[in-house]
Amino acid sequence: MSTLKIHNSYSRQKETFEPITPGYVGMYVCGPTVSGESHLGHARPYITFDVVFRYLQHLGYKVRYVRNITDAGHFEEEGREAEDKISSKAVLEKLEPMELVQKYTNLFHWAMNLFNTIPPSIEPTATGHIVEQIEMIKKIMADGYAYEKNGSIYFDVKKYAAGHDYGKLSGRKIEDLLEATRELEGQEEKRDAADFALWKAAPAKHIMRWNSPWGEGFPGWHIECSAMATKYLGTRFDIHGGGMDLQFPHHESEIAQSTICNGSAPVKYWMHNNMITINGRKMGKSYNNVIKLTELFSGDHPLLTQAYHPMVVRFFILQSHYRSTLDFSNEALQASEKGLKRLWDAYENLQRLRDRSSELQETAADPELDERLRKLMTEFDTFMNDDFNTAKVLANMFELVPVINSLKDKTIALTGISRATFDLLQQQFYTYLETILGLTSVSAADNEKLKNVMQLLIEIRKEARSRKDFVTSDKIRNQLATIGILLKDEKDGNISWSVE
């Protein structure tokens, strides 16, 4: 089997994945800032890295997956009016800051659950690690790479850059960064424009504040990830993930802080997912083009003609490669909805074929077909190993769909393929669809009583049809259709049904 290759943002190329400690993987992913509702754009990294998490486990690694909750509310970093997003919003909503944080954390977890993402092994909060952050800042100061000004602490980027390659991750030149092309307020405390805050003194009206050796204040945005990653994954860990927009300054700063504090670069493989765009433009608050997850699930948005099941969104995201931009539209989502249904129907047909497994032979009557199927399935692994190419895995699955449906319709005899290939089909579809890609059924029909009622109606309809009483049979089918239940007369005389 081929080995896993990961595109490392740091080296800008695919590298063979070799964990620092054989058999174990430490992975850190930047989590959400819970000052507001999550939107479609937020779904991408968490679904992407959920698949990474699942695949690494599938490969047999023991993975510790850490994803933080940013609940500390920072300044508009180095900017404008000193404003704490979380506390100012809390005043508007007349909530305690932590009440607001809790509300959006709950909402985030609710959505992640609907997406069928596996919860991280550890989900630390920034406010729960103030002590660790302060300790880290103290160490950086002791090493002489940070300085205090009016109760705030800044990281000395120029000094760091003299001995380290600051800017390598984000492809920036330190000279350009030091040039200070922009005039922003609140910069006068910093020695260089490129410096970033490790700790900020809290203005009087700032609600979230903690005691520190430098007075009351709150941590800078970047330090929380460094502190929590170090605490739970050690000074050097395997994978750090996040959105591309975090590459600079967030991840660049993380590298600098951790390198000074821990004496080594923190991360072996940096992974960045690309953005979801809408009409070609990044989805984001500042662009005013976000579609919240609640709106997506309810269909309550001007750009949407209908509600979309969370699995459709997950499937939509997995149909593209994580490093490409993904353009959202109502039309694209509808296409995904139909595609997912077709794929899942075939998967269910495949499972039902087990009832006919006695027909199988050890050797395939159609070796060419048999070989083709095996190749398509072997490639699942090849594609995933090539930097998690879920799009190609799904494409191959779709190539198998007509074959599965033909086996079911008996257009292709089960003897055409070998028993081993049949078993492999069963196994690979289950493993990939459910275990690795994390897809689930979108059907709402998992109800015993409904199933029994449907069985009854199907019996009555069968009887009606057998005596050519099409008025009755059509009535049953049409009435059910208006309720949203579709009956399908199969070729073999069976009747299947599905809830829309």
What tokens does 64 get?
């510790």
Question: Which of these segments, 28-36, 107-115, 152-160, 202-210, binds RNA (CB under 7 A)?
Answer: 28-36
When binding is defined by CB under 7 A, the residue of 406, 415, 426, 431 that contacts RNA is 406
Binding-residue total with RNA (CB under 7 A): 88
Place of tokens 């009755």: 472
Report the candidate in 490, 487, 423, 409 with the shortest Cα–Cα distance to residue 455.
487
Place of tokens 């940013």: 70
What tokens does 123 get?
């989900």
User: What residues numbered 104-133 form the site for RNA, per CB under 7 A?
Assistant: none
By DSSP bridging, strand 267-273 and strand 237-243 are parallel
Q: Which residues pair with 276 in a beta bridge?
A: 326
Does 32 sit near RNA (CB under 7 A)?
yes
When binding is defined by CB under 7 A, the residue of 2, 21, 24, 79 that contacts RNA is 79
User: What residues numbered 468-497 form the site for RNA, per CB under 7 A?
Assistant: 470, 473-474, 477, 486-491
Does 283 sit near RNA (CB under 7 A)?
yes
By DSSP bridging, strand 276-278 and strand 495-499 are unpaired
CA distance 81 to 73: 14
Which DSSP string do the residues of 281-316 spell out, in sequence order?
Answer: EE--GGGT---BHHHHHHT-STT-SS---HHHHHHH
Question: Which of these segments, 146-154, 155-163, 228-236, 245-253, binds RNA (CB under 7 A)?
Answer: 245-253
Question: Which of these segments, 59-67, 77-85, 208-216, 294-302, binds RNA (CB under 7 A)?
Answer: 77-85
Place of tokens 């995201």: 317
User: What residues numbered 412-471 form the site for RNA, per CB under 7 A?
Assistant: 465, 470
Question: Which of these segments, 144-152, 208-216, 356-364, 384-392, binds RNA (CB under 7 A)?
Answer: 384-392
When binding is defined by CB under 7 A, the residue of 50, 71, 78, 195 that contacts RNA is 78
Does 391 sit near RNA (CB under 7 A)?
yes
Does 392 sit near RNA (CB under 7 A)?
yes
Query: Which residues have C-beta within 8 Å of that of residue 378, sequence separation ≥ 6?
Result: none
User: What residues numbered 321-380 form the site for RNA, per CB under 7 A?
Assistant: 321, 324-327, 329, 331-332, 334-336, 338-339, 342, 345-346
Q: Torsion over CA of 384, 385, 389 and 395, rounded to 10 degrees?
A: -50
Report the candidate in 387, 74, 68 with the shortest Cα–Cα distance to residue 233.
68
* Percentages of the chain per state (helix, strand, coil), in multiples of 5: 50, 15, 35
When binding is defined by CB under 7 A, the residue of 262, 378, 382, 405 that contacts RNA is 405
Query: Which residues have C-beta within 8 Å of that of residue 316, sequence separation ≥ 6?
Result: 326, 332, 333, 336
Task: State in angstroms the smallest separation of the CB of 179 from RNA.
Answer: 9
Does 89 sit near RNA (CB under 7 A)?
no
Closest CB to RNA among 42 and 159?
42
Task: State in angstroms the smallest separation of the CB of 124 from RNA.
Answer: 16
Task: State in angstroms the smallest separation of the CB of 58 from RNA.
Answer: 20
Task: State in angstroms the smallest separation of the CB of 201 from RNA.
Answer: 17
User: What residues numbered 175-194 form the site for RNA, per CB under 7 A?
Assistant: 176-177, 181-182, 184, 193
